[in-house]
Structure 1
Amino acid sequence: MSQAVVELLAKDLSAQGEVYCPHPKAGMQLWNGHPRVYLDVAHTGEARCPYCGTVYRLKAGEKVAHGH
């Protein structure tokens, strides 16, 4: 399993505070990918993909706006 860590900016998250994996920032190729899964990063600041183990983490100092 990969132990990659991908740092994200708040703008990389969806309106729901999620990111999908495999994500372009993770550098995965199509041939070794897995089904797309959506991971909630906004609530805890990080999430781990259950397929590949990649950790998606908000970059230090990044704030996620809740609501409009």
Structure 2
Amino acid sequence: MTKSFNVELLAADLNSQGGVYCPSPKADMKLWNSHPKVYLDVARTGHAKCPYCGTVYQLKEGEHAGAHH
């Protein structure tokens, strides 16, 4: 698997720490045949790239992680 993907996320897709795990069903990955599960901090910069597969997880334009109400 050398093809990497870009995955657009909503703020609601992030966990309570502001991140996601890869591999992810959102990237059309089968969890059983992928790389080890890694945590990616998306909230800090609005995007994160998986060091194993190169998938980029990015907040959709206009979405803000951890917005204060």
What number of residue pairs does the alignment pair up? Answer: 68
Over residues 23-44 of structure 1, what are the superposed CA-to-partner deviations in whole Å (9 max), with x where a residue is unaligned?
1100012343111000000010
Could you tell me which residue of structure 2 aligns to residue 48 of structure 1? 49
TM-score, length-scaled by structure 1: 0.88
Task: Compute the RMSD of aligned alpha carbons.
Answer: 1.6
TM-score, length-scaled by structure 2: 0.87
Report the 3-state secondary structure (helix = DSSP H, G, I; strand = E; otherwise coil) of the residue aligned with 1:44: coil
Sequence identity percentage: 65
After the TM superposition, which parts of structure 1 deviate over 6 Å for at least 4 consecutive aligned residues? none
- Deviation (angstroms), 1:66: 5.2
Aligned residue runs from structure 1 range 28-39, under 5 A: 28-39=29-40
CA distance in 2, matches of 1:67, 1:16: 14
Does 2:22 correspond to 1:21? yes
Over residues 35-67 of structure 1, what are the superposed CA-to-partner deviations in whole Å (9 max), with x where a residue is unaligned?
100000001010000010000000000011257
